[in-house]
Amino acid sequence: DVKVTQSSRYLVKRTGEKVFLECVQDMDHENMFWYRQDPGLGLRLIYFSYDVKMKEKGDIPEGYSVSREKKERFSLILESASTNQTSMYLCASSWATSGASSYNEQFFGPGTRLTVL
Amino acid sequence: GENVEQHPSTLSVQEGDSAVIKCTYSDSASNYFPWYKQELGKGPQLIIDIRSNVGEKKDQRIAVTLNKTAKHFSLHITETQPEDSAVYFCAASRYYKLSFGAGTTVTVRA
């Protein structure tokens, strides 16, 4: 079974702190994703990585950065946490797509609920 | 970008009855439409998907239909059971990027 693990289930941080959220997948997937989930808004893509050291901005990248130094690990960084970044953060991974008509299932981790005070 | 609308936001059904969730999308180039189920305390998990060259797909008690002309797709759950209680998300995709609906909280009453 594919396993996507996230470093913390719950995290409480102070405004202005630098926050690291870690995600590890064990299926040798090329693609990794970070989403945030808010009530009434569904899941929104923050960043996407399709290879080591490669990244693309998603729909809501402001206030976030990412790092992918190893294929299995994808980190989300909040440089200076703010209260409006209080949310559930979900990491996902998938095989690489090949061609415009193909798509692969995304496998999600359990999420990290971040509270910024 | 793609905009996906999902209705209803909450759905309460009697055990054994059917549940239907509907989604519309805006980008006619979207070609892949997965449905995810999220149970309490867990990440979303794919339950069924459909590609744009197919109009209907069924897997046991769940089915998905797609109307490309009208740009809408639906999830049908028949003979609902307590374990069907969860949040369901539809999504639309072109290439790697998924655009999700806001989610439907389904409660199955015993």
**What sign has the CA pseudo-torsion A29, B88, B1, B52?**
positive
Among residues B4, B21, B25, the alpha carbon closest in space to that of B74 is found at: B21
Among residues B38, B103, B11, the alpha carbon closest in space to that of A39 is found at: B103
Task: Check CB contact of A90 with chain B, cutoff 8 Å.
Answer: yes
Task: Check CB contact of A41 with chain B, cutoff 8 Å.
Answer: yes
Inter-chain residue contact A108 with B45, CB threshold 8 Å:
yes
Instruction: Please report how many Cα atoms fall inside a 13 Å half-sphere around the Cα of residue A60, on the Cβ side.
Output: 17
Looking at residues B19-42, what average pLDDT do you find? 95
Task: Check CB contact of B101 with chain A, cutoff 8 Å.
Answer: yes
- Chosen from A38, A45, A103, A108 to mutate, greatest number of chain B CBs within 10 A: A103
Task: Check CB contact of A108 with chain B, cutoff 8 Å.
Answer: yes
For residue A105, the model assigns a pLDDT of 85
For the segment B73-99, what is each residue's pLDDT rounded down to a tens digit?
Answer: 999 999 999 999 999 999 998 877 899
The tokens 């991974």 sit on which residue?
A: A93
Contacts of B53 (CB under 8 A, 6+ apart): none
- Cα–Cα distance measured from residue A33 to residue A47, given in angstroms and rounded to the nearest whole number: 6
B4, B92 in Cβ contact below 8 A? yes
Task: Give how far A92 is from chain B: nearest CA, Å.
Answer: 9
For the segment A58-90, what is each residue's pLDDT rounded down to a tens digit?
Answer: 999 999 999 999 999 999 999 999 999 999 999
For the segment A21-59, what is each residue's pLDDT rounded down to a tens digit?
Answer: 999 999 999 999 999 999 999 999 999 999 998 999 999
For residue A79, the model assigns a pLDDT of 94
Task: Check CB contact of B54 with chain A, cutoff 8 Å.
Answer: no
The SS3 of residue A13 is strand
| Cβ-based contacts of B40 with chain A (< 8 Å) | none
For residue A98, the model assigns a pLDDT of 65
